[in-house]
Structure 1
Amino acid sequence: MKIKKTAFITGISGMVGSHLADFIIENTDWNIVGLIRWRSPLENISSLTKRINNNDRISLVYGDLRDTVSIDKAIEKTKPDYLFHLAAQSYPLTSFEAPLDTLDTNIQGTVRVLEALKKYKNDCIVHICASSEVFGRVPKEKLPIDEECSFHPASPYAISKVGTDLVGRFYAEAYHMNIMTTRMFTHTGPRRGDVFAESSFAKQVAMIERGLIPPEVKVGNLNSLRTIADVRDAVRAYYLLVTVNPIPGEYYNIGGSHTCTIGDVLNKIISLSSYAGKIQIKEDASRLRPIDADLQIPNTKKFRDHTGWEPNIPFEKTIRDLLDYWREKVVKDGSSLLTR
């Protein structure tokens, strides 16, 4: 009898983790264990609730990246074949207000996960999710950004992801663990948190359409250049990362093919609205970072050549699906939503 593989997903209730769980359920026969905190909102995995309740290929364990004992117990109990480390304090702007929490969660949290794997499942195939933010402020002559571009982090979050990146590679080299690191560039779509620019825009537009707020969208820096990928393409990339000849210690830039400014993203969202032409744009100082990583254009050749991955979902579909996601949430939750 064939024994099914088990995939462990930290951050399963987040945008990326929930989409990855969907992908694994639909495209493999693997079992899934998801790590959540006791207070984690479960809305993003609501479509999997029946399976979770019936222990049908997916279960949840409680733990916190800042609590060594809980992480140790979760890995000891599970002993996964694959581990996708997606959980993090992932909001760059928040990291300026809570730098120590960000560093502890992201750097030391990664160490806790890898120490537990070293102890209980040293042969696990591990994906450590760093971030394109590690590159930070990149001069134009270094575009597009390849894997060997120097790090110049522009936020405490980015600094924490430099640590995450280096911790993953260190454990691969020092302890001969099968760990790979990714630097995913901007990725979005349904379930994107409203603290991120494009999702905040979509949420505000959806609220305007329902008459909940005046026709005015609050924005931060609209000139920052980004290459946009769809989250559903991103999780497919993560699956290929651990299944197509995984090479211990390797690190990859992954990203989409549509490059534009944050202002262009805002204009696309507004163009899809019934209020197009009626919405005012207002800069909100609280949405501006002290320093911004403003040229985020990746060279993804290394990963594409290794796995054959290509982004498939067009930019307009990604943005339309994001706006429709917020339209549904606004209808459901109405005036209880904040406009952040």
Structure 2
Amino acid sequence: MKALITGVTGMTGSYLAEYLLTMPDIEVYGIAHPRDSHKFLHQIENQIHLHECDLCNTETVNTLIRDLRPDQIYHLAAQTSVAESWKNPVQTISNNITCQLNIFEAVRKNSINARILVTGSSESYGLISESDLPVSETVPFKPVSPYGVSKVAQDMLAFQYHHNYGMDIIRVRVFNLTGPRQSPIFALSNFAKQIAQIKAGRNKPVIMVGNLEAHRDFTDFRDAVKAYWLALEHGLPGQAYNIGSGKSLSLESILSMLLDISGVLVEIEPNPDRMRPSDIPIMVCDNTLFRTLTGWEPMIPLTKTLKDLLIYWQTAVEENQCPPL
């Protein structure tokens, strides 16, 4: 069986490739943008079939999908940062929609019988009320960021292509992910990077933060990719499934956990540049539908995820492989 991962060089994509390689009778194929770094694939690059392709280019996507004829497609490639979407809303929305449309059209026009996983986001739910908690798949979409709008569009396009063309598409709405390899544009990874730099004597003992009052539901990448596999194994075509831990913590409490693990004493300084024009106060996942279907539940405790995240950044700092904040 051929499994194709878009965004294979990224945080989630690289973990998914590693996980699929443990499965029998699966050939792993990956699509990477020509400008992507392959650093997360250095241990497995010789075990997967890697193809460079700009997913925004309709012709090259069609040729690649036509020639590969994959059995499974895990569509992970996207601009995934809410903060970045405020800075570049046009690029975020255009990129996330166009890439997915090109994949769908290539599969449809070439009559390829592939199961497709579309990774949506809890940001699609957006402005929820207290009565909506925990958030199930029936809660209406009210996105409050350009990124959230782009993920609603991806979700609805997936439903439309299933409904109109009978395509075998599973939608997952993923709540917050974190863990080693995460970019420092995301809050927890940014905290861990700052702590690692302070611990190494590179920075003053001050942590710059945004809104610490926000509550989020975090799952480790390494648990999430197992859910993606199960979604394509057991999911019903056209159905949407929430993926998250079912537990919500404030960013303030998670930062305190990181500081306790590190043993570093710091001052915490709010930075207006890290505040978003609009932020969702609380998000917590109702994963009942997916858990009942597949038996999946997160296995990695948040404390282990945070320890691993700190080790990741401490190693990067020591090896001078630390990109700027």
CA distance in 1: counterparts of 2:63 and 2:203, whole angstroms: 46
Q: Residue in 2 aligned with 1:22?
A: 18
Q: Determine if the alignment matches structure 1 residue 33 to structure 2 residue 33.
A: no
Q: Which residue of structure 2 aligns with residue 102 of structure 1?
A: 92
Residue 125 of structure 2 corresponds to residue 129 of structure 1: no
Is 2:246–2:287's contact at 8 Å kept on the other side of the alignment? Answer: no
Quick one: which amino acid aligns to residue 10 of structure 2?
G
State the Cα distance separating 1:120 from its structure 2 match.
2.3
Q: Which among 128, 133, 154 is matched to residue 138 of structure 1?
A: 128
Q: 5 Å matches for 1:1-340?
A: 5-49=1-45, 51=46, 56=47, 58-244=48-234, 246-275=235-264, 278-333=265-320, 337-338=323-324, 340=325
1:282-324 deviations in Å (ceiling 9; x for gaps) = 1111111100122110110000111111111111011111111
**Cα distance in 2 between the residues matched to 1:281 and 1:28:** 48
What is the alpha-carbon distance in structure 2 between the residues aligned to residue 71 and residue 294 of structure 1?
Answer: 39
Which whole-Å CA distance do the structure 2 matches of 1:126 and 1:41 have between them?
25
Structure 1 counterpart of 2:3, which letter? A
Residue aligned with 1:8, SS: strand
1:272 and 1:189 map into 2 onto residues whose CA distance is 15
Instruction: Give CA deviations for 1:60-119 in whole Å, capped at 9, x if unaligned.
Output: 111122211221122112110000000001111111111111111111211111101112
2-structure distance, mates of 1:101, 1:112: 16
SS at match of 1:181: strand
Cα RMSD (Å):
1.2
Runs of 4+ that moved beyond 6 A? none
Q: Which runs of 5+ in 1 are unaligned?
A: none
In 1, the alpha carbon distance for the partners of 2:159 and 2:52 equals: 27
Going from structure 1 to structure 2, the CA distance change for 1:325 and 1:210 (only over 3 Å counts) comes to same
- CA deviation vs aligned residue, 1:139-167 (integer Å, no higher than 9, x gap): 11110000010111111010000000000
- Distance (whole Å) between structure 2 residues aligned to residue 70 and residue 216 of structure 1: 47
- Deviations for 1:247-301, whole angstroms, at most 9, x for unmatched residues? 11010111014320011111111111131xx211111111111001221101100
The residue matched to 2:137 in structure 1 has which SS?
coil
Letter in 2 for 1:196: F
TM-score, with structure 1 as normaliser:
0.93
Give ranges in structure 2 of 5+ residues lacking alignment.
none
SS in structure 1 at match of 2:237:
coil
Question: Retained in 2: the 8 A contact 1:258–1:315?
Answer: no
Distance 1:293 1:65 in 2: 30
Aligned residues: 325
Contact kept, 8 Å, 1:21 with 1:32, in 2: the verdict is yes
| Kept in 2: contact 1:330–1:337 (CA 8 A) | no
